[in-house]
Amino acid sequence: MLAPSRQSRVSVIIPLFNHAKYIEKAIESVISQGDVVRELIVIDDGSKDDSLKIARDLGRSSEKIRVLSQPNQGAHATINRGIEESSGDLIAILNSDDFYLNGRLDTLVDFIDANPHVSLVGSKVRFVDQFGTEQANDWYLTGLAEHDRLNYEPAAFLNANIFVTTSNFLVRRRVFEEIGKFSSLRYAHDLEFLMRLLARGRHVLIHEKSLVAYRFHATNTIKENHSAVRAELALIGAFFLQLSARNLTQLNWHDIDLFQGILKKHALSDAVFICLVHFLSNPIDSLEKNPFDCNEKLRGAVASVI
């Protein structure tokens, strides 16, 4: 029997876009989590394949499933709409090509309840191919090791985001009310959210078990434009420094040295400097609007050093 503390706690949001091949597995992996799931909100973001039809057919199998649709707005906007539509005190996200492993939500609800000072939890990640076959990932293993070595999460996450994906987020609802929802970045809105949490003095934790599967396939968004990904990383690094500088207890010279070392390692120092100058002249609390979209000079200056 489900512990009362877990009963109907989690609203799960699936932003769906052109994943007709994978959405059934994603939905089934949520419903199989059991009574901890309060609701599953699937929002189709203007898919061109059969994704919406498949989701609607599956939605008839459980009263917990709500299937919505909208013109294409991007993953961040779709997730943000899901948050607004949801009612659970804990919110989880699952991208439509990924899937949960057995017992994920029970384990993570217990984990976050046991750590009341923590705003967001995740787990270690299993990597699979388009067929669901497990794959080794040296980048991830190295990132885990560097996370432990650095012992400073902002530098460690900028070096390698070992949460990997929004599919690995379980977040307290009140956090979105306190610091806002996801930014309009195309490739790294998950990392930006983590860094914004840390800049605001919030805490995150990763459970030792692998409880979510991240699927590699030919159309992963992150593969689209490497330079654009690096530009977003620079923007996030500068935005974090700007926010943290407002709270001097969040920064010390040791941490700054670690952060600077990661920027040098990834050849991002010049781009971060350019973005930081922009933020010092135009201080903001949110990347709800991507500065690159509305400032051609900033975009060009960063592109010239990436």
- What is the predicted pLDDT for the residue at 246? 73
- Report helix, strand or coil for 185: coil
- What is the predicted pLDDT for the residue at 222? 59
Q: Please determine, for residue 2, whether its predicted confidence score (pLDDT) is greater than 90.
A: no
Greater confidence (218 vs 3) lies with: 218
**CATH number 3.90.550.10 given to 10-223:** yes
C-alpha 270/C-alpha 276 separation (Å) is: 10
Report the candidate in 147, 155, 126, 139 with the shortest Cα–Cα distance to residue 29. 126
Q: What is the pLDDT of residues 21-47, one digit of tens each?
A: 999 999 999 999 999 999 999 999 999
- What is the predicted pLDDT for the residue at 1? 43
What is the rounded average pLDDT of the residues 199-219?
A: 92
- Report helix, strand or coil for 69: strand
What is the rounded average pLDDT of the residues 88-94?
A: 97
Which sequence spans correspond to the domains of the chain? 10-223, 226-303
- What is the predicted pLDDT for the residue at 123? 98
Reported confidence tier of residue 247, pLDDT bands at 50, 70, 90: low
Report the candidate in 174, 303, 176, 196 with the shortest Cα–Cα distance to residue 244. 196
